Structure 1
């Protein structure tokens, strides 16, 4: 991989580290466009993401709870906003490009289906014979093909750095031997990624930029904090249950010491903000130590390192695993949630089966010409349509097409 060229200073460079991405050195867009006189390349990416149709739909897409559960639980949109706030905080502290980190955070969940991971699992099963479904690959399809907002191109025509960060949200896709890494070892790299890779090389065998790594950790931090918050609010578990986890027990002891007898809602808020603070401060400290040891001279040096540069320490990695291990059975697989998940999966499967048998049942913009496509492309178009649905719209479509629709209450 070539080194980046020396750069001319740009606004904000006195705050930006030498290993940060720079808009002036962007590898550009697939379709050339005149530069903006008022915005950097990454600011432009962020703005295009915010104004996209897919971004607006996040408002009515489930995080863990379906929207019927109440107004205070997270949706994909509120989760995304929280991730963006944490990503900017990390980027600012580490001298990274805040606009790129924010753009990546805002776009990272665009490819999610209705009904959260339940919808994704169901759609992946439906697409088993047609290449499967992967929400990261779907995000790439949205920003490179499915958004139709501009006269000169499909998608949003985002910069190379933003696309790279979205595709490598979970690290490299290829190992040094050219084979898929563990995430895609069994299924292979999704076709959507390979198709785009043939047009513009996204360096699938390297880590992404420091900004992308920061956005990915911000996602983990936000997930842990708000799932604890939502689970406590929903009564799926209690604060006393969290004392089984050493990391959280220590925080709860601190809250009790400083605020004895605090009511549950305030104690919950105190716990959540401490979780976020400890995780964020840990990432900053650990990343600063790694950067000091590595001494990267440019953004590409971060990509070539062969290991994450922005990371949790060993202690917080253990705490992260501890929290996830608790949440899996006590929240994501809680009997109350499991029954809703089953019904939601039925909705997705029913819709896919109906559209596969009768593509004309989709709206004209999706159904027209679908029957003439080969089975692979036909199934992918149906998958694109279903993946783009909000929870509400998926239920409305099911009611339109079927005599009985499961209740998700």
Structure 2
């Protein structure tokens, strides 16, 4: 019995009936020789961490577009916070922490430059619309390394189902979907206060009375509510008094930060930038890197342009816009 097999045997002994057991995975689209050390879900986590798409998240917007300050969240730090929250919940209720972590680390790989602003822009101009969770799945199925990462069915399902009306097939995927919301509600409050857009006193008093005055208190209340409901009822939900306060606080953030606040004053520029790039490459696909031109035959022109733009970081998108649309000064003086 190798190390992987020993670990798989241990999972069956210590994990909850609610958990997804590694050796019971539905597997990968392409069969592979098993690793002697790591379970399939551990391998998936490692593949995501070592991907280029994961590294690019450090230069993609969370809420504040291309922030100058060192302490504002980016899409990468958001991902790490989601992973931490999701692992805490999964460990407490004895779910498969490796599966949870893999889903959490991969859930935003398909996010556009400028966060949801870029997502809305592509959704406007593409013929079939654009959703970042579908693009995240596309990254791990086709785009990364030019052939995808060949992840397990359970990890791909969790990545796709973390957003929108979809429901994950595993409890680990359901945990990540809640952890995503718990993370951004709280860290976006922290960033908004740092930016001077909100003050602590602005937060809804009834919500704060239930959830707590500090970021730490609120996180603890929300996480504990999910854990206790799972222990008592065998369901992954955030409901009851804490759940109601959480969703009310989320509504407050949409009204006061995500829509129409000072944090969003550059959004129109960002959307115009993304739309301009899309329109330009649709007319001149030869201007895209060679690898994306080669995909036109397989995936079509529009999808290849979407893949290229969605993969850009904020700063790369700005660089490309400047290169294509802003005249360079003439430098030959003599």
TM-score normalised according to structure 1 size: 0.75
Which residue in 1 is equivalent to 2:150?
157
The secondary structure found in structure 2 opposite 1:163 is: helix
Equivalent residue for 2:161, pick from 163, 168, 178: 168
CA contact 1:213–1:310 (8 Å) conserved in 2? yes
The secondary structure found in structure 1 opposite 2:67 is: helix
Give the 5 Å matches for 1:257-268.
none
1:369 and 1:207 map into 2 onto residues whose CA distance is 30
Q: CA deviation at 1:317?
A: 2.4
Structure 2 vs 1, CA of residues 327 and 121 (structure 1 numbering), >3 Å: closer, same or farther? same
1:172 and 1:62 map into 2 onto residues whose CA distance is 23
Asked if 1:141 is matched to 2:138, the reply is yes
Q: CA deviation at 1:250?
A: 5.1
The secondary structure found in structure 2 opposite 1:14 is: helix
Question: What is the number of residues matched between the two proteins?
Answer: 322
CA contact 2:8–2:21 (8 Å) conserved in 1? no
1:90 and 1:230 map into 2 onto residues whose CA distance is 24
CA contact 2:162–2:168 (8 Å) conserved in 1? no
The CA deviation string for residues 104-143 of structure 1, in whole angstroms up to 9 with x for no partner, is 000011111000100000011110x2x1111111011100
The secondary structure found in structure 1 opposite 2:315 is: helix
- Tell me how large the CA RMSD over aligned residues is: 2.1
Structure 2 vs 1, CA of residues 94 and 272 (structure 1 numbering), >3 Å: closer, same or farther? same
Q: CA deviation at 1:169?
A: 2.2
Which residue in 2 is equivalent to 1:386?
309
Which residue in 1 is equivalent to 2:252?
326
Structure (1 or 2) with the greater helix fraction: 2
Q: CA deviation at 1:172?
A: 6.6
The secondary structure found in structure 2 opposite 1:68 is: coil
Give the 5 Å matches for 1:287-326.
287-291=230-234, 309-326=235-252
Which residue in 1 is equivalent to 2:223?
280
The CA deviation string for residues 135-166 of structure 1, in whole angstroms up to 9 with x for no partner, is 111011100100116xxxx1000011111222
CA contact 1:143–1:158 (8 Å) conserved in 2? yes
Give the 5 Å matches for 1:367-406.
367-368=293-294, 370=296, 377-403=300-326
Asked if 1:235 is matched to 2:161, the reply is no
1:320 and 1:385 map into 2 onto residues whose CA distance is 36
Q: CA deviation at 1:324?
A: 1.4
The CA deviation string for residues 249-296 of structure 1, in whole angstroms up to 9 with x for no partner, is 4556xx6xxxxxxxxxxxxxxx001110000000011112221xxxxx
Q: CA deviation at 1:365?
A: 2.1
The secondary structure found in structure 2 opposite 1:49 is: helix
1:57 and 1:390 map into 2 onto residues whose CA distance is 6
1:71 and 1:59 map into 2 onto residues whose CA distance is 12
Structure 2 vs 1, CA of residues 273 and 369 (structure 1 numbering), >3 Å: closer, same or farther? closer
The secondary structure found in structure 1 opposite 2:155 is: helix
Structure 2 vs 1, CA of residues 346 and 148 (structure 1 numbering), >3 Å: closer, same or farther? same
CA contact 1:23–1:41 (8 Å) conserved in 2? yes
Give the 5 Å matches for 1:8-407.
10-127=9-126, 129=127, 131-148=128-145, 154-170=147-163, 173=166, 207-242=168-203, 244-249=204-209, 271-291=214-234, 309-368=235-294, 370=296, 377-403=300-326
2:32 and 2:91 map into 1 onto residues whose CA distance is 28
Q: CA deviation at 1:14?
A: 3.3
Q: CA deviation at 1:404?
A: 6.7
TM-score normalised according to structure 2 size: 0.91
Extract unaligned runs of 5+ from structure 1: 1-7, 174-205, 256-270, 292-308
The CA deviation string for residues 87-112 of structure 1, in whole angstroms up to 9 with x for no partner, is 11011011100000000000011111
CA contact 1:100–1:162 (8 Å) conserved in 2? yes
More displaced stretch, 103-112 vs 314-323: 314-323
More displaced stretch, 206-215 vs 280-289: 206-215
1:81 and 1:124 map into 2 onto residues whose CA distance is 26
2:83 and 2:14 map into 1 onto residues whose CA distance is 19
1:103 and 1:218 map into 2 onto residues whose CA distance is 13
Q: CA deviation at 1:18?
A: 2.0
Structure 2 vs 1, CA of residues 158 and 12 (structure 1 numbering), >3 Å: closer, same or farther? same
Which structure would you say has the larger RCO, counting Cα contacts within 8 Å and 6 or more residues apart? 1
CA contact 2:103–2:158 (8 Å) conserved in 1? yes
Structure 2 vs 1, CA of residues 172 and 64 (structure 1 numbering), >3 Å: closer, same or farther? closer
